[in-house]
Chains A and B, each alone.
Chain A
Amino acid sequence: MSKQIEMGAGAVDTPRAPWRAIFLALAGIAVVFGLYRVYQHQTAFTFGLDYFSDDFQKYWMTVLYVELTVIPLLGAAIVGYLWKTRDRHLDQLKPVDELGRYMKLVGMLLLFVTVFYLTGSIYAESDAAWHQVTVRDTDFTPTHIGLFYFAVPTLIVLGVSSFMYARTRLPQFAERVSLPFAIAVAGPIMIMPNLGFNEWGHTFFYAEELFAAPIHWGFVLLGWAVFAAAGLLVQVLTRIIALTKQMNDDAAAAVQPVLRQDQAVAKAA
């Protein structure tokens, strides 16, 4: 992932972001979320109106069971892999490699916020639109199955994976815990307990579907966890600046002996 640049007699690496992997992952997210959306569009109002019907069990509960199985397993596999392949010699990491890892981390965060956009805007508001035209019969509606058991868990997997990547591969994040990063990742995780409260309230004391209702404000608070992205970016950018400077200093130091040799040859001539 790094490109060697010839500098006189010395050779210095410059890191390169994993563009191919990032674009492939973005395309994968677009395809999976897009196909899910098409499925929802085709089947929500035809087979998703009555939880107690056979069609609902076939078309929607099957999807729920697959989501509840596949996404946690996938998340556990990714996090397990990141932990198992962790760098045990972070003290020997060269600046150029660390910069390359920061590029990967920022790429992972880009995937995280892409899914956050899809979740917070398109999937959340499909639920808003759904509830305006139907009265819920249980906690499991087609849009809930998409939002809370597909989109939010995927967001959690991406957030925890990014956090784990930083913890296992970047010295700064391995030595200490980044509070902004922890907050930004904890917000989506805490949406799940808040969902429990939301469903409990909707079946107990608030049946009407005013989207800006106080019962939903817990979700807003957890969405605000992403405000901590500002602190995380400060941490990441500060380190990138320091590493770039160090890399330039190292390059200059590598060239100095060659320059001195050239000057000596020129003087002798």
Chain B
Amino acid sequence: MAISASATQAEKDAHRINVQFDTLIIPLVVLVFAAVFSFHFALLVGDWDYWIDWRDRRWWPLVTPLAITVIPAVFGYFLWERLRLPLAATLSFLALGVAAWISRYLNFHLFANFPMNMVWPSTFIGLGLIIDCVLLLTRSWFWTGLFGAFAVGLLIYPLNWPLLAPFQVPVEIHGTMLTVADLMGFEYVRTAIPEYVRIIEESTLRTFGEAVTPLTAVFAGFLNIMNYWLWVWVGYLAAKAIWLRRIV
């Protein structure tokens, strides 16, 4: 009786300690995702996702998957290899989504007075579910990269299409045809517009999307396979518990 009572008490103590650490560490990890993903996304995708008129047929579907795969790959290694949690992609995309909605509303809408219709963030949570499910089913970084990361590049445009479609409708202004998104962009001139025009108008094939978009998506998918593997390797390095005797 006494032995089992003491064992039970010890279990209760251990449980009490674990619950306290969980209560501290789980929000810590979610906040790390929100913080590092927002910062990383702002400085590598940034304008391509801030503005409806930048979500074009060629750069947005290429730049975005390459950037958003980094965090799920790096922290995916830690969560899967150390804690056996296939959650990194879904959780980090969710954290990015929540942080992006807060920031777009506070900064771009309330502070700088852009309409929310122009600055809403794209959605990626479905892509996170795909990566995590592939990892859970295959338990392999190789296959997760091959199928999961390829799907991220391939599906970013179709996943966001229901949100984007109304802004891709053609309109005619002063004899020139352009999209609703372009028209909004011309109405709200920003300092980055000259640079944007230089980047996006370097082209021989002028189109609203059509064949260019799926080709970009497939190209992005292929690139993203190697991108994912590279960042999983970085995640392996980042999760190393390295101790030094001294720094200098």
Binding site for B on A (CB under 8 A): 5, 7-8, 12, 14-17, 22, 37, 40-41, 44, 99, 102-103, 106-107, 109-110, 113-114, 116-117, 119-122, 124-126, 128-135, 176-180, 182, 208-213, 216-217, 219-220, 223-224, 226-231, 233-235, 237-238, 240, 244, 247-248, 251-252, 255, 258-259, 262
Contact = CB atoms under 8 A, between A and B. Distances in A.
Interface string B97-114: 001101110111011111
In terms of DSSP, what is the predominant structure of the interface of chain A? helix
Nearest to A130: B112
B242 interface: yes
Contacts of A122: 102-103, 106-107
Contacts of A7: 6, 9
Contact of A133 (B47, B112, B242): B112
B235 A230 contact: yes
B40 A248 contact: no
Contacts of A247: 13-14, 17
B112 A177 contact: no
A217 B106 contact: no
Given A7-B6, A177-B247, A126 B107 contact: yes
A129 B108 contact: yes
Interface string B41-56: 0111111101000000
A265 to B, nearest CB: 11
Interface string B25-69: 101110110111011101111111010000000000001000000
B197 to A, nearest CB: 11
B32 A116 contact: yes
Given A130-B111, A211-B47, A8 B238 contact: no
Nearest to A176: B243
A251 B13 CA distance: 10
Contact of A231 (B12, B27, B102, B240): B240
Size range of the interface on B? 35 or more
B20 interface: yes
Contacts of A233: 25, 29, 78
Given A17-B20, A17-B23, A213-B195, 15 more contacts: A15-B20, A41-B110, A102-B21, A110-B31, A125-B42, A129-B108, A210-B192, A227-B36, A227-B75, A230-B78, A234-B82, A235-B241, A235-B243, A237-B25, A259-B3
B173 interface: no
B234 interface: yes
Contacts of B235: 227, 230
B10 interface: yes
Contacts of B247: 177, 182
A133 B244 contact: no
B40 A121 contact: no
Contacts of B241: 180, 231, 234-235, 238
A227 B234 contact: yes
B6 A231 contact: no
